[in-house]
Amino acid sequence: MSRPQVVVPAHYRLWAPDVDAVICHRSSLGREQYLVRWKGGRSSAVLSWHFLPDLSHCLHLVQKYVEARRSSSHTSQDASQQRDMTYNRKRKAPHDELQASLLTPSSMSRASSVSSAENVRPLQAHTHSSSGPDIYNGILQRKGGFIYAKRVSSNKVQRVNAVKMPTEAMLQEASNVKTTNADMQIRAKFLRRLDALFGPRVSFVNVNDPTTPSLDFEFIQENEIGEGVEVQPDELIVGCEKCRPDMGQNRGCEYTQKCDCLEFAAVDEARLNDEQRALFEARKKAGVDDTAGLPKRFPYLSTGRHAGCLVNFYLDQRHIIYECNESCNCGPKCKNRNVQHGRQVELEIFKTPHPFFGLRCKQDLLKGQFIDTYVGEVITNAEADRREADSGPGKASYLFTLDKNVGAIALEDCYTIDGEKKSGPTRFMNHSCDPNCGVYTVSYNKFDYKMLTLALFAKEDIPAGAELTFDYMDRDDMEEDETQTADDAYPGAKTKCLCGSERCRGYLWV
């Protein structure tokens, strides 16, 4: 006679914070069923079988398990090649790595199990599995629509050695059971998250395999401020006072030497008269950064089909782009307010032929066109160093240091944006040594040297459907020497670059 199997009605869900991992699966009643290990001490871990409807809040754990099994099905040589096809940058990496490994009996040595106590009535249904046992514990409670595991201490409890779970027989049975429904539910949950994003649609497509970007990743619309990060209050944000909405063909900020927001912008040396040039040269010689009253490089084109596109000067350089803000007198339609209005194009996350995801645009992009920002958790430099140290060598990093104002502030005072766990669609952009996009620093408040925005612009005309890429190595970090070999020029290289471009440097570096 078969033992009772813990099954609960579909309108109940596992309480995700108490679940440790999914460690096996099987077919029961013609449906996929997954073995859950609940969190607990070495001698009191609880295990139970559940159908997918119970696991809607734990799909990220199901995904880790499924991807780990899928990965383990390849040969060790294939697995090694996949590990080699990861990219690294000083503080950025491209793709979404599923950091999970197949749970084997040896990896579960910290767990043990208990079974149902006589004085507790578990929710039951009768099933049978040849790999058995069918039940590890039945002490599951329903409360507030969720399922919780309960430890028991009765001497009459029949104990099962969880160190040996899953057994070889269970693993063998699992190898013959497809995870199709799990893949579909994981994909559907990811798509719902994309649908919740503001602005033009972000879609997802994968015609190569069943994989989906990690559900551990959370889409956010704007930067999230971390502990120790100070944000200037709105009342301290200074805007331009001499500009008006009716300037510049009713688009504001026509005169760059009068616009207060452009005070620290790059000087337009071609427009300097003799008096201004003499003043400019004198200030440079004296080491004074004051450029007030001088004509500046306006960041965006203002007319024609390229209106709003970043000008070549900024595309080719690394100067900070200063935009107007809500405190300005130029009005909300000012032609110097572009990035802050957010993404205006449809994007698509897709699975590349390689074991990672990429990003492309659903429409043609013009040279200089704004694509989207790179957002994440804004953290201190000390926290960024701690996260890098904890991640270990060779692990993908999604950290960008906001260091464009070093000199005005110390490097250790700069903030960092971490997009590993929380970010937007641009987090899926891959590296190329010959990229079609670039990352640029934007400031909405000239006196805030720390809180900067990262924006991606097209560096050339990009046809719809082409993969969007950028160079993970900031040119400010290293001056390239074309006469050196990759090994000589990049002594810190740890990972071979596989971008495939004709201008490939051969290596990426940390």
Buried b (16+ CB within 10 A) or exposed e, 282-316: ebeeeeeeebeebbbbbbbbbeeeeebbbbeebbe
Residue 71: the pLDDT is 86
Residue 151: the pLDDT is 64
The answer to whether residue 49 scores a pLDDT higher than 70 is yes
Domain residue ranges of the chain, discontinuous segments joined by +: 4-78+98-178, 234-322
Q: What is the mean pLDDT of the chain?
A: 81
Nearest to 31 by CA among 49, 15, 4, 11: 49
Are the C-beta atoms of residues 350 and 360 closer than 8 Å to each other? yes
Nearest to 314 by CA among 329, 328, 300: 300
Are the C-beta atoms of residues 426 and 378 closer than 8 Å to each other? no
Q: What is the mean pLDDT of residues 420-424?
A: 96
Q: Residue 471: what are its φ and ψ, rounded to 5°?
A: -85, 120
Q: What is the mean pLDDT of residues 35-44?
A: 72
| Residue count (the chain) | 510
**Residue 415 falls in the annotated catalytic set:** no
The answer to whether residue 497 scores a pLDDT higher than 80 is yes
Are the C-beta atoms of residues 138 and 127 closer than 8 Å to each other? no
**Residue 398 falls in the annotated catalytic set:** no
pLDDT tens figures, 167-178: 888 999 999 999
Given 34, 87, 374, 507, which residue is catalytic?
374
ω into residue 17 within 30 of 0, thus cis?
Answer: no
Query: Distance between CA 205 and CA 468 in Å, rounded?
Result: 15
Given 12, 300, 472, 490, which residue is catalytic?
472
Residue 137: the pLDDT is 54
Q: Which range has the worst mean pLDDT, 1-10, 95-104, 248-257?
A: 95-104
Tell me the three-class secondary structure of 406-426, residue by residue.
ECCECHHHCEEEECCCEECHH
pLDDT tens figures, 213-233: 999 999 999 999 999 999 988
Query: Distance between CA 429 and CA 417 in Å, rounded?
Result: 16
pLDDT > 70 fraction of the chain, expressed in percent and rounded: 76
Residue 287: the pLDDT is 80
Give the global pTM.
0.82
Residue 476: the pLDDT is 56
Nearest to 375 by CA among 192, 219, 217, 190: 219
Nearest to 372 by CA among 438, 315, 312: 438
Q: Which residue has the higher pLDDT, 191 or 125?
A: 191
Q: Which residue has the higher pLDDT, 84 or 61?
A: 61
Q: What is the mean pLDDT of residues 348-365?
A: 94
Q: What is the mean pLDDT of residues 460-474?
A: 93
Residue type, 509: W
Query: Distance between CA 422 and CA 401 in Å, rounded?
Result: 16
